[in-house]
Chains A and B, each alone.
Chain A
């Protein structure tokens, strides 16, 4: 006969196992549970940020001369950018006036929100990471995330004070693209390579088959859709078949597919910018 303690143990295992499975499934699939988990670890990610800042401060003290050089270069860049901003402001004013004359509705503006990377998975380093901005900062799902002016991903999961960014290297990140000089528009997304050791590429599909897609040509966001503005650099066209030097694959004699090498450096990220669309009064009231 089985001992009573053993029977109780078995009953306990039977009760605990579904709880454990439920916890794991909820944490993986149910958005509020994921939000609660990220909220729970917020003090820890904040402490990690403090550790990172302290390390940076120590580095600054040790490598002061390098920092001074970098600061001088940055000052020069800022001066150049200020001139460029003035030019753009003039162009925007001109654009507004022309749109008014043509009775066109005003173009939506974009908020530029700087965010810090607070948690990153070492096992999927180039696929996704968490930033310290969320719903309360005006972010919404699908917003474009940039690093040094290049598209690096989109917001795929949003909590009150943080968000998950899925990078352009992931097949889960989809966006509308335009190939420079051809005006061909298609849909881009991370390329699910069959060879695990290959670099991450972006695969653009549904492109017109009659255009020439030359190696090295730039690819930008098309601006179709509401969450990503037009003209953000994504990458350059690369060979699909290196031996045959082919860039294009025609699918079912209907549309073309190309591979894009991302311009953004996803490896070393500390700060990123999120482009959030400025809502009109009507949208806000709705």
Chain B
């Protein structure tokens, strides 16, 4: 069931990202789903299918720099940190990793754009600014939204829930709640 869930998440993320990208909306769904699955399952089991998905997505778009793969690597420490120190039980608290996630996405894009010169330029400055702002806002919104939607589906499938994961983890290892 866990494998089917991970494959389903990867395919859904891939489809969502391709469709949104076609209309010019940069939504880092793969990275957000990866964050969720890193916390619910282990980082190790989520890593391979999601890195593969990110590589497929980058290759489909003909990217020469694996932006999505790099983003996943940045999400890894965020997921580990949030599992240890964060609070997964309250939805509004997910805004905090959302901000960090959006910041990471924004900075990575900015860094790659600045270092690759022509890659960043566009017919109008306005379009790039809108894309960057949109990327930040989408990344900010997609993380809590992913947690909410995936938890909703996982509940119906009797899978471990994101909101309960810290209780299980902390109680299971005898640490304070």
Chain A residues engaging chain B, CB cutoff 8 angstroms: 9, 12-13, 16, 19-20, 23-24, 26-28, 33-34, 37-38, 40-41, 44-45, 47-48, 51-52, 118-130, 156-157, 164, 166, 169-171, 190-194, 196-200, 265-267
Residue among A16, A51, A120, A156 making CB contact with B48, cutoff 8 Å: A16
Q: Are A44 and B62 in touch, CB under 8 angstroms?
A: no
Q: Are A37 and B60 in touch, CB under 8 angstroms?
A: yes
Residue among A23, A48, A199, A265 making CB contact with B51, cutoff 8 Å: A23
Q: Are B22 and A119 in touch, CB under 8 angstroms?
A: yes
Residue among A40, A125, A128 facing the most chain B CB atoms (10 A cut-off): A125
- A260 CA to B60 CA, complexed, in Å: 30
- A148 CA to B66 CA, complexed, in Å: 32
**B159: which A residues are within 8 A, CB to CB?**
none
**B26: which A residues are within 8 A, CB to CB?**
122-123
> What size tier do the contact residues of chain B reach?
35 or more
Q: Quick check: is B117 within 8 A (CB to CB) of the other chain?
A: yes
Q: Are A27 and B56 in touch, CB under 8 angstroms?
A: yes
Q: Are A125 and B55 in touch, CB under 8 angstroms?
A: no
Q: Are B60 and A12 in touch, CB under 8 angstroms?
A: no
Q: Are A122 and B25 in touch, CB under 8 angstroms?
A: yes
- A9 CA to B42 CA, complexed, in Å: 11
> In whole Å, how far is B119's beta carbon from the nearest beta carbon of chain A?
6
- A270 CA to B52 CA, complexed, in Å: 29
List 14 A-B residue pairs with CB atoms under 8 Å apart, sorted by A's residue number: A20-B47, A23-B52, A24-B55, A37-B55, A37-B60, A122-B135, A125-B131, A126-B122, A171-B117, A171-B118, A192-B117, A193-B117, A197-B120, A197-B125
Q: Are B131 and A27 in touch, CB under 8 angstroms?
A: no
**B1: which A residues are within 8 A, CB to CB?**
none
Q: Are B61 and A120 in touch, CB under 8 angstroms?
A: yes
**B127: which A residues are within 8 A, CB to CB?**
125, 267
Query: In the complex where A120-B24, A125-B127 touch, is A200 in contact with B59 (Cβ < 8 A)?
Result: no
- A170 CA to B121 CA, complexed, in Å: 9
Q: Are B60 and A45 in touch, CB under 8 angstroms?
A: yes
Q: Quick check: is B123 within 8 A (CB to CB) of the other chain?
A: yes
Query: In the complex where A27-B59, A128-B62, A192-B117 touch, is A266 in contact with B123 (Cβ < 8 A)?
Result: yes
Q: Quick check: is B104 within 8 A (CB to CB) of the other chain?
A: no
Q: Quick check: is B170 within 8 A (CB to CB) of the other chain?
A: no
- A26 CA to B58 CA, complexed, in Å: 11
